[in-house]
Amino acid sequence: MQRSVRLSEADLALVEALQICPRATWSAVAKATDSSPVTVSRRWSRLVDSGAAWVTGTPGLSVWNEQCVAYVAIRCSPGHKLSVADTLAGDPHALSVELTAGDFDLFVTVAAADLRALSRYLLERVDLIAGVTDTRTRICTHLYRDGSRWRLGSLPQQAVDRLASAPAGTSPHSQAARSATSRPEDHRILVQLGLDGRASFAALAAGAGVSEGTVRRRLRSLLAAGTVVLRAEVAAHLTDWQVAVILSIDVPSDRLAQAALAMSRLRHVRLCATLAGSPAIVVSVWLRDVESVHDFETTLAKAIPGVTVSGRLVTLHTVKRMGRLLDEDGRAIGAVPMDVWADPGAAPRRRVDGPVHP
């Protein structure tokens, strides 16, 4: 068996530079990482071609909070976990699919245009998959943090500050609470960004079936409004952050929003959302090892007194992360376009294999 090779410090610095500013010019990235534009461009191409890193576009927090997002924990009959995970990974509405250890076998992030579409997908698709024996669905009421704000922690603060001050619209930090995308061309552009967040305007225009000028104008507007967020991802097992844990957390209802906001600011948190169900908060964290779960929970209890961790799922293998299909090392091996606006009953299950470009 071939062992995974950890990414170099130069690779990690490059990935974090694009986490901060996903569509930054290679000149800007080179200055932040003490390299040359040619070197960082070649290094990034190598990382993308090997599946070790990639940039993807997703709806921003304001969009998710206007749409219907749910977290579905699934139990499977013996011998069916992998087949169920593979089936779900092919669906555009199943954004992320994780094989887990704990009370449930799978943890799936699902999104649809509205509650009716979400209900159709869950009842007419998920519940009917062979091998699914039980599901527990909790609908998101508010998303406080997603993976676009998580950082590797490889760059010095001076480089971080330099990249964060890039021109507006190139960084994923904008979270202005404006209305969600409503134009059909916006949806098509976002689907193409989901395949390659650093694609050229010409490639995005060709994939979305619009003019290059339209892509330039709409992308600038969508990024500035925070309705589209770009995020640089990395194969977790090639870094120090090799353990993903999903926590279900109880908190008194009168402190729900305050507690969720505080949790969203903790270093290890990639996802924090309040739910229409019990427990009322779900948090996903990346840690260095399994033992660190206890350290994180201790930090959580000190930072936010009164919270109770009532459930834990340790991710054994992320089969799909925000549209990307992953191997056991977390390397991208393909993608399924995240067309969450499509009809769940008729959504095309189109898979793109290998290095993904529009």
Q: What percent of the chain has pLDDT over 90?
A: 74
Q: Does 184 fall in a domain?
A: yes
- Looking up tokens 């709409």 gives 218
Q: What percent of the chain has pLDDT over 70?
A: 91
- Rounded mean pLDDT, 96-101: 98
- Domain with 19 in it: 9-57+148-235
Q: For residues 175 and 319, which has the higher predicted lDDT (pLDDT)?
A: 319
Q: Which residues contact 165 (CB under 8 A, 6 or more apart)?
A: none
* Mean pLDDT score across all residues of the chain: 89
Token digits of residue 221: 């507007």
Q: For residues 146 and 179, which has the higher predicted lDDT (pLDDT)?
A: 146
pLDDT at 294 over 90: yes
Q: Which residues contact 217 (CB under 8 A, 6 or more apart)?
A: none
pLDDT at 71 over 90: yes
Q: For residues 210 and 277, which has the higher predicted lDDT (pLDDT)?
A: 210
Amino acid at 53: A
Q: Which helix (H) or strand (E) holds 333?
A: strand 332-335
Task: Please say whether the beta carbons of 176 and 224 come within 8 A.
Answer: yes
- Rounded mean pLDDT, 92-121: 95
Q: How sure is the predictor about 235, in pLDDT bands with cuts at 50, 70 and 90?
A: very high
Q: Inter-axis angle of helices 37-50 and 26-33, to 10 degrees?
A: 100
Beta strand residue intervals within 48-197, DSSP E: 53-59, 68-76, 94-101, 106-112, 132-145
- Rounded mean pLDDT, 166-186: 54
Q: Does 36 fall in a domain?
A: yes
Task: Please say whether the beta carbons of 146 and 169 come within 8 A.
Answer: no
Q: How sure is the predictor about 226, in pLDDT bands with cuts at 50, 70 and 90?
A: confident
Q: How far apart are CA 81 and CA 75, in angstroms?
A: 8
Q: Does 198 fall in a domain?
A: yes
pLDDT score of 164: 75
Q: Give how far Cα 186 sits from Cα of 110, 148, 193, 207, Å.
A: 20, 20, 10, 12
Q: Does 324 fall in a domain?
A: no
Q: Does 39 fall in a domain?
A: yes
- Rounded mean pLDDT, 280-292: 96
Q: How sure is the predictor about 358, in pLDDT bands with cuts at 50, 70 and 90?
A: very low
Q: For residues 2 and 18, which has the higher predicted lDDT (pLDDT)?
A: 18
Q: Which residues of 97-113 are buried (b: 16+ CB within 10 A; e: fewer)?
A: bbbbebebbbbbbbbbb
- Rounded mean pLDDT, 288-310: 94
**Cα dihedral 238, 303, 143, 153 sign:** negative
Q: How sure is the predictor about 177, in pLDDT bands with cuts at 50, 70 and 90?
A: very low
- Rounded mean pLDDT, 149-163: 89
Q: Does 264 fall in a domain?
A: no
Q: Does 214 fall in a domain?
A: yes
Q: Which residues contact 36 (CB under 8 A, 6 or more apart)?
A: 30
Q: How sure is the predictor about 170, in pLDDT bands with cuts at 50, 70 and 90?
A: very low
Q: How far apart are CA 213 and CA 30, in angstroms?
A: 28
pLDDT at 351 over 80: no
> How many CB atoms are located within 10 Å of the residue 314 CB?
15
Q: Which residues contact 33 (CB under 8 A, 6 or more apart)?
A: 10, 13, 14, 17, 40, 155, 159
Q: Does 293 fall in a domain?
A: no
Tally of domains in the chain:
1
pTM: 0.90
Q: For residues 62 and 121, which has the higher predicted lDDT (pLDDT)?
A: 121
- Rounded mean pLDDT, 195-206: 94
User: Of 3-7, 82-86, 206-210, 286-290, which range is least confident?
Assistant: 3-7
pLDDT at 128 over 90: yes
